[in-house]
Amino acid sequence: MYAWLYYHLPGPRGLRPVVAALLVLALVALLMFVVFPAVESVLPGGKVTLSN
């Protein structure tokens, strides 16, 4: 899967590592700023208030 993705990256061969690194960074940013904040509200760890 990753090999396939890597070989289908756009751009010249020499730039592929750079493009791949940028993609990974973008993915991590998406997780940290969008996905994880949304997901963690559903998880139990952060509940500190009282409710019925």
Min CB(28)–other proteins separation in Å:
7
Give the Cα separation of 23 and 27 in Å (integer). Answer: 6
Subset of 24-43 contacting other proteins (CB under 8 A): 28, 31-32, 36, 39-41
Given the complex with other proteins, which of 1 and 10 has the nearer CB atom? 1
Q: What residues make contact with other proteins under the rule CB under 8 A?
A: 1-2, 28, 31-32, 36, 39-41, 44-52
